[in-house]
Amino acid sequence: MRALPVLCFLLFAHPASPQDFDLLIRGGRIVDGTGNPSLVGDIGIRNDRIAAMGHLAGSTTKRVIEATGLTVAPGFIDIHNHSDYTLVADGNAQSMIRQGVTSMILGEGESAAPIGGKQQSRDRRPLLNDEAADWSDFNGYFARLLRQGISTNVGSYVGSSQIWTYVRGERTGPPTGMELDQMRALVRQAMEQGALGVSSSLSGPPGSWIDTDTLVALCEAAAPYGGSYSTHMRTEGRGVFESVAEAIQIGRRAHVPVDIIHLKIAEHTMWGQMPELVATIARARAEGLEVQANVYPYRAGQNDLATIIPPWAHEGGAQALVQRLKDPALRPRLENEILHGIPGSNWYNHYTATGGWEGMLLVSLSDPQYKKFEGMRMSQVIAAMGKPPLDALFELLEANGGSVPTVYFHHSEEDMRYALKQPFVSIGSDGTAAATEGPLAAGHPHPRYYGTFPRILGRYVRDEKVLTLEEAIRKMTSANAAKIGIFDRGVLRPGMAADVTLFDAARIIDNATYEKPHQYATGIEYVIVNGKVVLDRGQHTGAHPGVILKRQRGGRS
């Protein structure tokens, strides 16, 4: 890394010869993604690649973007994104493009493939127009995206829950030897078709049913392909230290890198312990293990109201859950475990973690009768319904198919800031592409859907100086590219893919709030994806130059 400043000096000390470019970005302050100090200069783009950098006066070009006063950075890589299905409905990815995002990494516990097997048809994620998915594997999914066109690049992990339900359906218990062989074969198929590794979401069913040994076996199947393990841990609450230890153990046993999704302590009685949690990861790294993490810059997360219901009640899927909620014989047990937890269990109870009903904000409800509660705190909903809290909870879940997406205010700003500053922690939105108009403007989503990256640059870089500009950009670009084995993006250099974001560092800020989330950020001026301008002076051009990102083995694929 010590040679990089010399490289930057040579790059800018020797102007390129006059040549033709398709696009010339002139006079911007270039933050190259490595963490090195910024430099003022030009970038020449030809086709889908950066052709030259330096002081390119005299070059001919089809178009010039005058970037004086703007910061020029590699396009932001969102390392944790949930747009698997919204991209099928709308490839424009408006809220992400308008944050400066040029690449989205999809797939958590659930992923877009594989689809089939023992997955219940009603539980297979439908498209927004209620059509069934017309693919079964990643080849089919990626082809669908490219056929209709996408504005950002896309890569995906294969989800461990997706594998589990394909083989076992909505059932608990350890897999048989034959089932485990099938799971490993599905992982290998996904990796051969371009998956980046194995992901997990272990805080609720079906992910919470998957034991450590099975996760190791799935990651071992991905390891020969260079895959990594990305995990929403088993709990971020009272068992968070044990969950980090499990993630590290999986990485050690399977010989794969580990990325902990949205590192946090989501338990109000444990706030302030982030330094100890970071030290646990640092010790593993000192032992030579590749363990990293990512965060989003908010003190609330999003999950589902159904996470308040104990894991055993979810077996068999959503319909089985609803039937259990209606069973009076089960009511005493459900109430006791919701309010007090399950002794000796690693279940992540979002009710006890949040500390009360006022810490929950309802995002969307499918039953029209209950849509009036969207954007309200659960405490307000309970008061409006005029019922005891658990009666209101059960009614909402029963009427809305066992699922009500919910924002939980469960971790502290101080802990988040401490994690954000760690060199091995990068930035991801944990959001979904949305829009202020059309079908993607429905519901009341988490503001991170619209504001993650501008919030970092505006609030935590410019205003509060938690990070330097160069370090923040590194966490959004090259740090994330390295995690997924993509070597031709994330840094501005000749020969690299021409993914570039230009923003006004003095103006950039998020506008989305918990009360009014459907608001685009301010300050992102231009977004270029594979050499094509997708955001032009703040307006989406409708261009769809996105490609599928697949892990590269030792260089450009």
Band (2; pLDDT cuts 50, 70, 90): very low
The CATH code of the domain at 1-107+119-153+428-550 is 2.30.40.10
Instruction: Outline which parts of the chain fall under CATH 2.30.40.10.
Output: 1-107+119-153+428-550
pLDDT at 43 (0 to 100): 98
Q: What is the pTM of this model?
A: 0.88
The lowest-confidence range among 204-208, 315-319, 490-494 is 315-319
Instruction: Report the mean per-residue pLDDT for the chain.
Output: 92
* Percent of the chain predicted with pLDDT > 70: 94
Give the CATH fold of the 157-260+263-299+411-425 domain: TIM Barrel (3.20.20)
pLDDT at 555 (0 to 100): 39
**Which pair of structure tokens corresponds to residue 236?**
């971020």
Q: Is the pLDDT of residue 3 over 60?
A: no
Instruction: Outline which parts of the chain fall under CATH 3.20.20.140.
Output: 157-260+263-299+411-425
The CA distance from 42 to 119, in Å, is 52
Q: Is the pLDDT of residue 302 over 90?
A: no
Average pLDDT over residues 332-338: 89
Residue 342's SS3 state is coil
pLDDT at 126 (0 to 100): 54
φ and ψ at residue 271, rounded to 5 degrees: -55, 140
Residue 296: C-alpha distances to residues 134, 302, 420, 445 (Å): 32, 11, 8, 15
The CA distance from 120 to 109, in Å, is 16
What ranges make up the beta strands (E) of 107-225?
153-156, 158-159, 197-201
Closest CA to 86 of 549, 488, 446, 439: 439
Tell me which amino acid residue 511 is. N
Q: Is the pLDDT of residue 556 over 80?
A: no
